[in-house]
């Protein structure tokens, strides 16, 4: 499941997809479906919230194990609300974008909220996009709709010129656009494919180990810098649920939701 479409900056940071796919605005879930030919894929092009609603409506299978590759705390918190048996979250980051990490989350804790605390400081991505482009927040909320000439009405000259170059593209994802942030495609791009691939390997490796019960130890937080490689004696931290987290306070409600979804599916 993914709400985004494949764009030009993704060509250098993804291990799949071409410039032609970016020009066509192919949805990322369709791109994955096209490559995983030996696996039965049910692509869902939409938000995590929409996928949760589809699960509860019985129109989308409830996933028991989730492999996540998200880029914000808020999205990870949303993903946790699927309340899968196991959520394997992979990510990249660090000062130069070369750190990779794996978080193994359980509905009983530690969940993704335990691993990623909410930060209420600073402006939201939507607010920053609004201030940069002049687009109304109500328009930004309709992120999947492509920008049109009508969206340029009422913008000042500088905003008109800035937003005009993105006509025909969905609003979502513009906040991370290299052109919008004043960078060029020739500059340093921290989201390198080989770094993302290592994060993916951590996630898939954990999936292989956990699924058949080859590894049944406590949930782990694994992190290392790809510039120096993994250090088994330093990179693994076993985690406990955070006191006061939703997964602890609302455990009875979460168990009820999980039982309802298990019965329905």
Q: Which residue has the tokens 């921290």?
A: 190
Q: Which residue has the tokens 């709709």?
A: 145
Contacts of 152 by beta carbon, 8 Å cutoff, 6+ apart: 160, 163, 164, 167
Q: Give the pair of three-digit tokens for residue 60.
A: 């989308």
What's residue 129's pLDDT? 81
Angle at which helix 125-133 crosses helix 157-164, to 10 degrees, equals 120
Bridge partners, 101 (sequence order): 91, 223
Short-list 252, 227, 203, CA closest to 88:
203
Sign for the pseudo-dihedral over CA of 109, 114, 118, 124: negative
- The answer to whether 198 and 90 are in contact (CB under 8 A) is no
Give residue 256's Cα distance to chain centre.
26
Give residue 38's Cα distance to chain centre.
24
pTM of the model: 0.73
Q: Which residue has the tokens 């660090």?
A: 94
Tens of pLDDT, residue by residue, the chain (265 residues): 999 999 988 887 788 899 999 999 999 999 999 999 998 999 999 999 999 999 999 999 999 999 999 988 999 999 999 999 999 999 988 766 789 999 999 999 999 999 998 765 556 667 778 888 888 888 887 777 888 988 888 888 888 888 888 888 877 666 655 445 554 444 334 456 788 889 999 999 999 999 877 788 899 999 999 888 888 777 999 989 999 999 999 999 999 999 999 998 8
Paired sense of beta strands 236-238 and 65-68, if any: unpaired
- The whole-angstrom separation of Cα 191 and Cα 194 is 9
Short-list 27, 5, 8, 28, CA closest to 18:
8
DSSP for 66-101 reads EEE--SSHHHHHHHHTT--SEEEEEEEESTTS-EEE
């Amino acid at each position: 499941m993914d709400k985004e479409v494949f764009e030009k900056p993704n060509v250098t940071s993804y291990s799949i997809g071409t410039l032609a796919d970016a020009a066509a605005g192919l949805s990322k879930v369709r791109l994955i479906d096209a490559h995983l030919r030996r696996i039965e894929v049910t692509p869902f092009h939409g938000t995590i919230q929409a996928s949760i609603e589809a699960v509860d409506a019985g129109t989308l299978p409830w996933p028991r194990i989730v492999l996540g590759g998200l880029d914000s705390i808020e999205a990870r918190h949303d993903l946790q609300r699927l309340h899968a048996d196991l959520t394997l979250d992979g990510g990249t980051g660090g000062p130069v974008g070369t750190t990779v990490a794996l978080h193994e989350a359980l509905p009983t804790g530690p969940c993704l909220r335990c691993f990623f605390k909410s930060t209420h400081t600073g402006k939201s991505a939507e607010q920053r996009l609004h201030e940069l482009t002049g687009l109304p927040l109500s328009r930004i909320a309709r992120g999947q709709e492509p920008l049109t000439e009508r969206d340029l009405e009422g913008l000042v000259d500088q905003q008109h010129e800035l937003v005009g170059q993105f006509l025909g593209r969905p609003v979502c994802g513009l906040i991370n656009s290299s052109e919008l942030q004043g960078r060029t495609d020739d500059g340093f791009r921290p989201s390198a494919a080989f770094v993302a691939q290592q994060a993916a390997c951590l996630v898939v490796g954990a999936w292989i180990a956990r699924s058949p019960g080859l590894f049944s130890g406590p949930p782990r937080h694994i992190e290392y810098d790809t510039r120096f490689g993994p250090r088994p004696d330093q990179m693994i931290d076993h985690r406990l649920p955070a006191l006061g987290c939703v997964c602890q306070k609302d455990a009875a409600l979460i168990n009820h939701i999980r039982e309802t979804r298990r019965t329905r599916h």
